[in-house]
Amino acid sequence: MADIGRKSDTFSSRFGFIMASVGSAVGLGNFWRFPYTAGENGGGAFILIYILCVLLIALPLLMAEYAMGRKSGMSAIEGVQSLARAESRSQNWGIVTWIGSLTAFFILSFYVVISAWLLAYLIQAIGGDLHGTTAAESGQNFANTIGQGEDPMPSKWYILSLLGVFLAANVFIVGRGVKGGIERAATILMPAFFVMLIVVVGFAVATGDTARTVAFIFEPKWEDVGFKTFLAALGQAFFSIGVGVGLMITYGAYLDRETNIPKSSAIVAGSDTFVSLIAGFAIFPIVFAAGLPENAGPSLFFVSMPVAFEAIPGGAIFAIVFFALALFAAFTSSISLMEVSVSWLEERQGVTRFGAAIGVGFVLFMVGAAYVFSLEYLDFMDFMTEGLLLPLGGLLAAIFAGWILSRDMLTSELGEGTIMNLWRFLMRWFVPPFIGLVLIFGFLDKIQDQYHVQLPGALQMLLGPNYDLTLQE
């Protein structure tokens, strides 16, 4: 079956495509979420389960999204609808990528605000003004920086200006197109990212408490493994790779025929997993050496790390590298998420690419401004995307690829033989049930964490020994 459509702008090389895809997958969650999640959910046992989830769930779904994108040659929403028409199925299957695309936009709307915080901290680090002598002082500096301190308005307007700068950079890169914008930026930023990551890891290992970090992250703790461990590992694998938001379908539309989708998917998933595995060594040796708590979550970046850098020799210099590293990860992810909306507007509405980028950027700025002035909106959107929309979009994408599209439709993209047989089995019988579990139990988990709802006793027993159901005040 011939390709249904074809984007005029494509990635010029396999290296550029992989760098762009890795950049979209590697984000802030690799740094603060994976190491702590691993340490609290069984250490080495969790990592083993996580790797299996990458191989058996995230990787097959990544291959499916690339294949659907290249087969259609269109934006995510239009592409799925065209594939459904080619299979004589209802165009209502476009809901698969409508949900994913809206989720990508919602995630991006608060991701850019956090990126503005990172930009503010990078500026502070360059000026030697992180205020991280004690945890209390660092926490107060964070509150003051984001406009939650005693004199909030000047700080809010400052963050809003940085938000504008960050979005302007996104608009400029995405507006230049795939080859001249996204690919060129990725081929420069991602190698620089990996160099900085190695530098920070080397510094942390040389100056911090590496032995305790190894024990915290990698030591198998089978007594901590419960059903919640599998949910955490699956959720981390699924969300970290970046499937379920229409992004990888969009990138697939820009692929040339020579790119081997199974091999490229394995490289992207493997690179993201590698960053997750070593990210802990960029943070926790320094945190442990400074005697700080390891369970601070996202506040590790903005509260604990400034204190840690203040407490060790050479920390002021490496604080600059660290926050630049985090900002690079945020930027490569944000331009990828913006591409989902821009690609659809350019294709469906007939506007120029740069005009679409400006329009999306303006809407993001207005929504981001609401987050800057009221963080409650940000918390709610984070709850809705991670707890409901992401797994729902991934579940529908898995069902569509495994059960709605025929084998012949995707054979030309994935090849025949063992790989195709294994992929189709997983996409039909393995991936949807497990994503369904994440959707149901993950949403229950989010409801309890966000709204302090007591779950029934049967669910408490099912979720396992490390599932904290204590009501919070």
Residue 441 CA: distances (Å) to CA of 5, 59, 426 = 39, 22, 21
- d(C-alpha 405, C-alpha 103), whole Å: 23
Please report how the helices 261-289 and 184-207 are oriented relative to each other, as an axis angle in degrees rounded to 10.
30
> Is residue 42 classed as helix, strand or coil in its secondary structure?
coil
**Of 23-27, 296-300, 461-465, highest mean pLDDT:** 23-27
What's the pLDDT band for 465 if we cut at 50, 70, 90? very low
In the predicted structure, residue 270 carries a pLDDT above the cut 90:
yes
Residue 346 CA: distances (Å) to CA of 33, 177, 351 = 35, 11, 5
- Section 198-208 average pLDDT: 90
In the predicted structure, residue 29 carries a pLDDT above the cut 80:
no
In the predicted structure, residue 188 carries a pLDDT above the cut 70:
yes
Q: In terms of pLDDT, which residue wins out, 377 or 77?
A: 77
Other beta carbons within 10 angstroms of residue 114's beta carbon come to 22
At residue 154, φ and ψ (nearest 5 deg) are -60, -40
- Section 308-332 average pLDDT: 89
Tokens of 11: 């990635």
- Section 46-65 average pLDDT: 92
- Section 114-125 average pLDDT: 94
Q: Name the percent of the chain lying above pLDDT 70.
A: 91
- d(C-alpha 348, C-alpha 346), whole Å: 6
Tokens of 120: 């503010």
pLDDT, tens digit, 9 for 90 and up, residues 277-286? 888 898 889 8
What's the pLDDT band for 297 if we cut at 50, 70, 90? low
- Section 83-89 average pLDDT: 91
In the predicted structure, residue 121 carries a pLDDT above the cut 70:
yes
Largest CA distance in the chain: 66
- Section 315-344 average pLDDT: 91
- Residue 446: predicted pLDDT: 65
What's the pLDDT band for 13 if we cut at 50, 70, 90? confident
Q: Whole-model pTM?
A: 0.87
> Is residue 400 classed as helix, strand or coil in its secondary structure?
helix
What's the pLDDT band for 397 if we cut at 50, 70, 90? very high
- Section 424-429 average pLDDT: 94
- Write the CB contacts of 37 (distance below 8 Å, at least 6 apart in sequence): 46, 232, 236
- Residue 3: predicted pLDDT: 53
> What ranges in 258-347 are assigned the alpha helix state H?
261-289, 299, 305-311, 315-344
Residue 329 CA: distances (Å) to CA of 164, 263, 335, 336 = 18, 23, 11, 11
